[in-house]
Amino acid sequence: MKAGKRLASCAAAWLLCLAPSMAQPLSPPPPPPDAGLQQHLDAQLPPALPLLDSSGRPVRLGESFGGRPVLLVLGYYRCTQLCGLLMQGLLEALHDTGLPRSAYRIVRVSIDPADTPATAQAARDANLAYADVLEGPRRPDTPLDLRLLTGTEPALRSLADALGWRYRSIGDANSPEDAYAHPAVVAVLTPDGRVSRYLPGVRFDPAELRLALVAAGEGRIGGLSDRLALLCAHLDEQLGRHSAAVLQAVRAVGLLTALALLAFVARQAWPGRRPR
């Protein structure tokens, strides 16, 4: 009986903890913000999308597909903070994976139509120089397959929409530090240009990155665990707390746990129950 009382008290405590949040109506989550990420796993990115490479040559996005998995990074080349940190983190993690450079391709696309092949080339030179610094005195036999692309506003919006990558202009476009609000995410693509997985943040675990590249190279698409990992990592940028979708999930799990405890207590304390 003492054990039953303790379990009943535990279940009651769970319900008391949940009471404030359960008192709030479980209203639908607010509309998604205009800058963020909506996962489009297994989405085929448009291979015919017209772009320019860093030499000014017209190319199609699909020319970057084929033969190996692709790490796709959207941002803008005049960005001096977030985009630079993301690329440094990605290059460091790639170096630490131990994979040969021939095992992947990096494609950066600027969502700023004001970026030009010249700004793309300058960013490419900076990225290649940092990759060389990471290698130290050792020089790989294979050069880093790094492609930096620019395009028009309609083409860039089309790519971002296909990827589920939402961005918006903020402030003065002449200010490189706050021209665009956008998520910090690397999309891992299969060799044929389908979204295999998303890696959020500006620092990446080398082992996780290696597994993601191997899976994408085999044509495999991320599953429910990847979706939940990104959901639980999502914070409201303005409020600094988890999004409404995460709070709804936490409430549901807490309620189910409390109900399970109460059901167990009821079974143990049922008057007609006799031990076998």
185: β partners: 200
| pLDDT 10s digits, 49-101 | 999 999 999 999 999 998 899 999 999 998 878 899 999 999 999 999 999 99
Q: Are 179 and 78 in contact (CB under 8 A)?
A: yes
Antiparallel, parallel or unpaired: β 185-189 and 195-200: antiparallel
| pTM beyond cutoff 0.75 | no
| pLDDT 10s digits, 123-155 | 999 999 999 999 888 777 788 999 999 999 999
